[in-house]
Chain A
Amino acid sequence: MHEVGRRVLFHLPPVLGIDLSITNEVLLLWAAAAVTFAVLFAAAPRGGGAVPRGAFRNMVEGLIEYLDREVVKSGLGHEAAGWAWFVMTLFFFILFGNLLGMLPAPSVIKSATASISVTSALAFLVLSATVCVSVGRHGPGGFFMKFIPAGLPKWVAALATPIEVLSWLARPLSLAIRLFANMAAGHALILVFVLLASQARWFESAFPLSSAVLMSGFELFVCFIQAFIFALLAGIYIREAAEARG
């Protein structure tokens, strides 16, 4: 039993020097996207009135309502409410990407988000969204002016500006690393316990097995929390980009 490694499944020619071959990790990504779309599409109304039918639709609607209240309204706020779909898509994509790693096939499937490439792409999207919002609201000048703190002497402002830029760049970086580290570490820990249990004799395997089970339960919670934190912070960053200037 070993961790899922990168395997090229279908070779594609490089584009601008980037290898776009289809790998098992790309498939995991697509699987997460497909599950996300399937679940939400199944919960979408197709006639039949406004009353939700069944526990599944109630659960999905409850989750969306929760996100609407906790992430969209309190995170994005009124000014950036138009980005609600973006933030919700982030949440559900990350959630199902995280949950893929909970399937009991660690040698075949891992979390789509347990890769720095995926989480950094998602963080890059958030960064791009904040740039779009900031430039859209305040213009390019306003966007660059936010890195120069107001009311400081020039030499202090000159020192502070690189710090502001670094601070701004650190946000998506922290988003990417936080999500990747949580998912990779949690699943790695479970994998270690499972490996221990598989190597030990039957009476010695009780501790690692029970630890793996406990960690799995905790990981389910972490999957949800990490998706929520990512979406909430993305919403807050976008709102700040819409509001703040300088």
Chain B
Amino acid sequence: MDGMHFDAGLFVWTLITFGILFGLLARFALRPIRRLMQEREDSIRSALDGAAKARDEAEKMRAESEERIAAAREDVRKIIEDGERIAANMRKEAARAAAGDAARLVEEARADIEKETRRGLDELKGVVANLSLRVSRQILRDELSPERHAELADQFIERLKKTHGN
């Protein structure tokens, strides 16, 4: 078996060959491959870190959005409550004002009626006085018979009705 015999030449050639191969591989193969793998590892790690950071930021933004939505809901609730309260107050005010107006109108109507009644009575008094004066004048001028007296009375009542009816 030749392999068992030590060959100094082959020993030296092995050292030389390995030295050259080591230099070539380190320069052209192993170093570029290892560098690429390291870059890839760094890139993947960086991407994972970025993804984790983005996820954290998204989570933070989601929490902030939820807080804002909750605050907006609270604001809306307050606005609605304020609106309802204002509307209720306005309704009460309107009802109160309407009641006041109605009472005032009724009072005015009553005052007008009383005033008109008083004025009518005053006119009636004038008419009665006038008629009485004329009846007295007629009685004085004419001799009154019982028939004539009844006739005059009827005429007086008729005139009174007409005057009062107008």
Chain A contact residues, CB within 8 Å of chain B: 3-6, 18-21, 23, 25-26, 29-30, 33, 36-37, 40-41, 43-45, 50-51, 60-61, 64-65, 68, 84-86, 88-90, 92-93, 110, 114-118, 120-122, 124-125, 180, 184, 188
Contacts and interface: CB of A to CB of B under 8 A. Distances in A.
A121 B1 contact: no
Given A23-B10, A29-B17, A85 B22 contact: yes
Grouping DSSP codes into helix (H, G, I), strand (E, B) and loop, the A interface class, with mixed when no group exceeds half, is helix
Interface string B1-26: 11111111111111101101110111
Given A29-B17, A33-B20, A89-B30, A6 B7 contact: yes
Given A3-B1, A60-B33, A64-B33, A29 B13 contact: yes
Nearest to B31: A85
A30 B37 CA distance: 28
Which 9 A-B residue pairs are closest in the complex by CB-CB distance?
Answer: A121-B14, A40-B29, A117-B10, A115-B3, A117-B7, A33-B21, A85-B26, A45-B36, A50-B40
A40 B25 CA distance: 7
Contacts, number: 131
A197 to B, nearest CB: 21
A51 B37 CA distance: 9
B34 to A, nearest CB: 7
A89 B25 contact: yes
B10 to A, nearest CB: 4
Interface of B: 1-15, 17-18, 20-22, 24-26, 28-34, 36-37, 39-40, 43
A19 B8 contact: yes
Contacts of A110: 3
B17 A33 contact: yes
A10 to B, nearest CB: 12
A23 B5 CA distance: 14
Residue among B6, B11, B14 with the highest chain A CB neighbour number at 10 A:
B14
A158 to B, nearest CB: 32
Residue among B3, B4, B6, B7 with the highest chain A CB neighbour number at 10 A:
B3
Nearest to A120: B11
Nearest to B35: A45
A86 B22 CA distance: 7
